[in-house]
């Protein structure tokens, strides 16, 4: 059953998404749900190299500029970020504004500055969540530096005007 934790990320989520120790968080998959112009929900799988919590009420996103997710978020500004952490699932309601694209060595990313509107925690007494969607990098030595570059760019990106 979901319960509202209010408009701030709990400490465990803020720490998980703080952009530090990316190698240890390699397999963590975050689901970003947006709505397309026809009203259909769309899911994007993101990594810790694309999401940065800069405070309890602020999340920054680095998305592929030509993606449906970027178009949907730019249009509606609303999304739901889902994270499994510990024995709970969290649903983070975000309202985002698109800023200037971030220039990275592997190509630009669409930059979004999102405000946390509400965090829902989903737990039940009769079962524990043991994992969310996970992945393993094929070439961590190549991908982890790219993630670090993206997180550094997210930290220093100016907010939308």
Mean pLDDT of 79-108: 95
pLDDT at position 41 over 90: yes
Residues with Cβ within 8 Å of 158's Cβ and at least 6 positions away in sequence, in order, are: 99, 100
What whole-number distance in Å separates Cα of residue 30 and Cα of residue 46? 5
Q: Report pLDDT for 143.
A: 92
Say if residues 31 and 133 touch (Cβ distance below 8 Å). yes
Mean predicted lDDT score pLDDT of the chain: 94
- The torsion angles phi and psi of 147, rounded to 5 degrees, stand at -60, -45
pLDDT of residue 148: 93
Strands (E), 36-145: 41-46, 51-55, 58-63, 78-85, 88-98, 110-122
Question: What's residue 86's pLDDT?
Answer: 84
**pLDDT of 133 strictly over 90:** no
Which fold would CATH assign to domain 2-156? Pnp Oxidase; Chain A (2.30.110)
Q: Kindly indicate the confidence band of residue 80, based on its pLDDT and cuts at 50, 70 and 90.
A: very high
**Sign of the CA dihedral running 110, 114, 118, 123:** positive
d(CA 159, CA 148): 20
- What do you get for the CA distance between the two ends of the chain, in Å? 38
What pLDDT, on a 0 to 100 scale, did the predictor assign at position 128? 81
CB-neighbour burial class of residue 145 (10 A; exposed 0-12, middle 13-18, buried 19+): middle
pLDDT bracket for residue 40 (50, 70, 90): very high
Q: Where are the domains of the chain?
A: 2-156
Residue 161 has pLDDT above 80, yes or no: no
Q: Tell me how many degrees the CA angle 65-43-45 measures, rounded to the nearest 5.
A: 70
pLDDT at residue 53 in the model: 97
């Amino acid at each position: 059953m979901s319960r509202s934790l209010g408009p701030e990320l709990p400490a465990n989520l803020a720490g998980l998404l703080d952009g530090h120790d990316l190698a240890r968080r390699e397999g963590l998959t975050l689901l970003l749900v947006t709505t397309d112009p026809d009203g259909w929900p769309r899911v994007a799988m993101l990594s810790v190299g694309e999401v940065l919590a800069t405070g309890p009420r602020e999340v920054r996103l680095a998305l592929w500029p030509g993606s449906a997710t970027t178009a949907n978020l730019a249009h509606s500004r609303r999304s739901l970020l889902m994270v499994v952490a510990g024995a709970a699932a969290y649903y983070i309601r975000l309202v985002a504004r698109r800023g200037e694209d971030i220039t990275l060595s592997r190509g630009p990313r669409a930059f979004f500055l999102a405000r946390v509107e509400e965090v829902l925690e989903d737990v039940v007494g009769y079962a524990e969540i043991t994992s969310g969607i996970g992945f393993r990098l094929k070439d961590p030595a190549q991908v982890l530096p790219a993630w670090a570059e993206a997180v550094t760019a997210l930290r220093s990106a100016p907010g939308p005007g």
